[in-house]
Structure 1
Amino acid sequence: MATAHPAPAAPHPATASGATLAVLKSETRLFLREPGSLFWIVIFPTVLLTILGLVPSFREHDDGLGGRRVIDLYVPVAVLLALIMSGLQAMPPVLTGYRERGILRRMSTTPVRPSALLGAQIALHGAACLVSALLVTVVGRIAFGVRLPGQALGYLLALLLAVACVLALGSLICALSRTTKIAATVGSVVYFSMMFTAGVWVPVQAMPDALRRIVQVTPFGAASQALDQAARGDWPGWAYLGAVAAWTAVAAWVANRTFRWQ
């Protein structure tokens, strides 16, 4: 007569929380040991803003931009660039690599659930986005006299929605990519598309009307407009906030439905 093997006991909550914290600490150390990722996420957007700020014409007020300067428009753009770097370029290959090497599958037999690793990566890349946004804002203010956001609460809301959106999109890329090469390729295609819609090459406000209307329904086109409105002192348009939230919800739902631990 066959003997039934008992199912593995569920880990004690204290054990599970301690293991999750250990994973977060370990992933933090690994993340800080990647100078390339840290540079592109935290430093590069500020470097780009500084280079643009050194162009004399970008510091001159333009009647076509409502009396604002080009450098004023590029602070929110640089903030979004950091988000795009983090969520679409840095995070997907890491998570896909863990799955490809069987790390997530092996973790399922330990007190640490694979979701703890996923949560740690999302938390780290989200924190890096916020640090970069703060650095861009400070340098823009001190070096080029860019005003601080006139509607601080609205700016923070738009920023947090944009962070959630890019992390959801990054998770979706990871969910749909079977290998790190595929994740890197898909991430690069989405990355350059989102850079354009965020206004990295041409600010959304300076785009032709027809193109601007199209861009404004994309996640980072809408986020760029919301941040710009808050920077001017207005509450971000609910249409823009709603667009970012809708992209976030859809990407997160699809990623959750399609993500595989092995």
Structure 2
Amino acid sequence: MSALSRLTLTETKLFFREPLAVFFMLAFPPILLIIFGAIPSFREADPDIGGQRVIDLYVPIVVAMALAMTALSGLPQMLASYREQGVLRRMRTTPVKPGWMLGAQLLLCTAASVAVMLVLQAIGRVAFDVSLPRQAAAYLLGYLLSALSMLTLGLLIASLAPSGKGASSIGTLLFFPVMFFAGLWAPRDTMPEVLRRISDFTPLGAGVQSLQDATAGHWPQLLHLAVMAGWIIVAGGLAARYFRWE
């Protein structure tokens, strides 16, 4: 096995030793989707949202929430804690470079988020008859851009936070507005025009709309793709500029 593979495997084992993190990152999103699907009104066509069912809109929203929990909580807290504890500094004395730790964390978070996304799609389809994405390639593109935009934002938090607790606090503060504009409390289709326009320029607002468009059989709008790409470039550039290994 390569050093990166070994490091990723080690980080995965350490992750599964944290029951609370495992629950919120892997188990909570599917449970939340089941709770939403158990609400009778969510399974009925609603004329206010074009005859769609609320549960159809919530599958992409919960997928986005799983991304947000991974990117804004797990990733920055772990990296900031490693820096605070001197783990990254000590790694410089070994053949394993500190940058490989970053790669291992990104691989772990990406694999976890993809696994949760697949589980959510399966639950939506089997339990609540939610249609699978009609444009699979468009859905994959929207998902990858959503994931990258959120993970780069998580790296930016890790680069600026002074400690693991600080990273957790910053991530929590960002989680609620990010998820509000993604439609967790009120789906985007029910938002007033001004809120929906603001949502268009947030990473997960653009991401959720792209996933919903792909599910309906359409390609994402260029505006939403450009917004997510912009977040990747800006947040990624700032994270690279300010990230500290010790």
- Give per-residue Cα distances to partners, 1:171-211, cap 9 Å, x unaligned: 00000011112111111111111111111111111101111
* Aligned partner (choices 68, 93, 110) of residue 84 of structure 1: 68
Give the aligned partner of residue 25 of structure 1. Answer: 9
- Give per-residue Cα distances to partners, 1:36-72, cap 9 Å, x unaligned: 2222112111111111111111111012211110000
* Aligned partner (choices 197, 203, 216) of residue 219 of structure 1: 203
* Aligned partner (choices 162, 183, 197) of residue 167 of structure 2: 183
The residue correspondences of 1:24-43 to structure 2 (distance < 5 A) are: 24-43=8-27
Amino acid at match of 1:190: L
**Aligned equivalents of 2:237, 2:223: Cα separation in 1:** 21
Structure (1 or 2) with the larger CA radius of gyration: 1
Give the aligned partner of residue 165 of structure 1. Answer: 149
Amino acid at match of 1:123: L
**Aligned equivalents of 1:129, 1:19: Cα separation in 2:** 23
1:92 match: secondary structure: helix
Amino acid at match of 2:17: R
Amino acid at match of 1:245: A
Task: Report the CA distance between 1:28 and its aligned residue.
Answer: 1.6
- Give per-residue Cα distances to partners, 1:96-118, cap 9 Å, x unaligned: 01000111011011100001111
Between 31-40 and 148-157, report the one with greater CA deviation: 31-40
2:52 match: secondary structure: coil
Amino acid at match of 1:120: A
* Aligned partner (choices 25, 32, 51) of residue 48 of structure 1: 32
Matched, 1:247 2:231: yes
* Aligned partner (choices 49, 53, 64) of residue 48 of structure 2: 64
**Aligned equivalents of 2:147, 2:223: Cα separation in 1:** 18
Amino acid at match of 2:108: L
Aligned residues: 246
Task: Report the CA distance between 1:18 and its aligned residue.
Answer: 3.4
Taking structure 2 as the reference length, the TM-score comes to 0.97
Matched, 1:236 2:236: no
Matched, 1:194 2:174: no
Amino acid at match of 1:47: I
**Aligned equivalents of 2:231, 2:92: Cα separation in 1:** 30
Give the aligned partner of residue 98 of structure 1. Answer: 82
**Aligned equivalents of 2:5, 2:73: Cα separation in 1:** 25
* Aligned partner (choices 103, 126, 142) of residue 142 of structure 1: 126
8 Å Cα contact 2:181-2:195 kept in structure 1: no
Amino acid at match of 2:84: E
- Give per-residue Cα distances to partners, 1:196-251, cap 9 Å, x unaligned: 11111111111011111111111111111111111111111111111111101110
**Aligned equivalents of 1:149, 1:25: Cα separation in 2:** 32
**Aligned equivalents of 1:135, 1:201: Cα separation in 2:** 22
Gapped regions of structure 1 (runs ≥ 5): 1-16
Task: Report the CA distance between 1:21 and its aligned residue.
Answer: 2.7
2:131 match: secondary structure: coil
* Superposed CA RMSD: 1.1
2:220 match: secondary structure: coil
1:197 match: secondary structure: helix
Give the aligned partner of residue 99 of structure 2. Answer: 115
Give the aligned partner of residue 57 of structure 2. Answer: 73
Give the aligned partner of residue 128 of structure 1. Answer: 112
Amino acid at match of 2:132: L
Between 67-76 and 207-216, report the one with greater CA deviation: 207-216
8 Å Cα contact 2:181-2:198 kept in structure 1: no
